[in-house]
């Protein structure tokens, strides 16, 4: 099962005068939904972008199952090992629901028919009704769009799911639905799920809670 371990990660944006992440050390594992909480500007999104391979830390190391991640091919890491889910869903507006979810599969060379089949399975897993698969994202509710975004992440084959305030644009009921999908992916399918959130209720039900304060990360629960 996946384990992800960060050791003394320090990061500074170019031209900035201070470190945004200060010797961050933490562990995440498959089978768990972890949350990262903390005030705006404390460094949560920066932490996710480093985990996502979008940026490289100045110092420190990242290990996946004991293997050095920062020494790996970063494009491969971004495409196959991690997948990011955003507050604003970030679906492709000109592709249908099914095409959005097929996209990462086709990018990885899966033949079209097989990609469509697998995409349908992933959409079923997030509970989206088949009559909506031919719609465009603009014709879905926010909660439905976020389900599609999660299904698209599953299509990447990544076992590490990073979600940056995924329920920030959703009401209470949709928030609960999305979080229960993440819980199921972690607990039943062994995904490693890391959710950045402002919502104390989400933190309460997660398996581990990390608090970011001014670039320093501390385990709360």
CA dist., res. 165 & res. 146, Å (int): 11
**Does residue 197 touch ligand ADP according to CB under 6 A?**
no
**Binding track, positions 1-20, relative to ligand ADP; x by CB under 6 A:** ------------x--x---x
Least distance CB 16 / ligand ADP (angstroms): 5
Token readout for 120 is 């349908």
With contacts defined by CB under 6 A, name the span among 42-50, 59-67, 74-82, 132-140 that binds ligand ADP: 42-50
Token readout for 62 is 């990242």
With contacts defined by CB under 6 A, name the span among 33-41, 59-67, 173-181, 187-195 that binds ligand ADP: 33-41
Q: E-strand spans in the chain?
A: 3-11, 21-29, 33-37, 59-64, 67-68, 82-86, 160-164, 192-196, 208-213, 216-219
With contacts defined by CB under 6 A, name the span among 41-49, 88-96, 134-142, 148-156 that binds ligand ADP: 41-49
**Cα angle 46, 52, 58; round to 5:** 55
CA dist., res. 111 & res. 200, Å (int): 43
Q: Which residue, 189, 157, 160, is CA-closest to 2?
A: 160
Token readout for 126 is 């997030």
With contacts defined by CB under 6 A, name the span among 35-43, 98-106, 147-155, 199-207 that binds ligand ADP: 35-43
Least distance CB 28 / Mg ion (angstroms): 18
In the DSSP assignment, the letter for residue 18 is S
Least distance CB 55 / ligand ADP (angstroms): 9
Strand order through the sheet with 67-68: 21-29, 3-11, 59-64, 67-68
Of 17, 40, 67, 129, the residue at the interface with ligand ADP (CB under 6 A) is: 40
Of 45, 100, 153, 156, the residue at the interface with ligand ADP (CB under 6 A) is: 45
Q: Which residues bind ligand ADP (CB under 6 A)?
A: 13, 16, 20, 38, 40-46
């Amino acid at each position: 099962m996946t384990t992800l371990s960060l050791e003394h990660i320090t990061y500074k944006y170019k031209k900035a005068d201070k470190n945004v992440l200060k010797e961050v050390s933490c562990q995440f594992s498959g089978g768990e939904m972890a949350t990262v909480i903390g005030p705006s500007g404390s460094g949560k999104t920066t932490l996710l972008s480093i985990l996502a391979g979008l940026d490289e830390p100045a110092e420190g190391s990242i290990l996946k199952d004991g293997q050095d991640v920062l020494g790996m091919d970063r494009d491969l890491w971004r495409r196959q090992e991690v997948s990011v889910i955003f507050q604003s869903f970030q679906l492709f507006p000109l592709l249908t629901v099914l095409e959005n979810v097929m996209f990462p599969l086709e990018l990885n060379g899966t033949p079209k028919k097989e990609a469509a089949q697998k995409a349908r399975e992933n959409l079923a897993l997030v509970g989206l009704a088949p009559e909506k698969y031919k719609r465009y994202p603009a014709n879905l509710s926010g909660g439905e769009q976020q389900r599609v975004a999660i299904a698209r992440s599953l299509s990447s084959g990544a076992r590490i799911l990073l979600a940056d305030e995924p329920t920030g644009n959703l009401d209470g009921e949709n928030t609960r639905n999305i979080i229960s999908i993440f819980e199921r992916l972690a607990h039943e399918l062994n995904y490693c799920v890391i959710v950045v959130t402002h919502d104390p209720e989400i933190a309460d039900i997660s398996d581990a809670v990390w608090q970011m304060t001014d670039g320093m990360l501390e385990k709360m629960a």
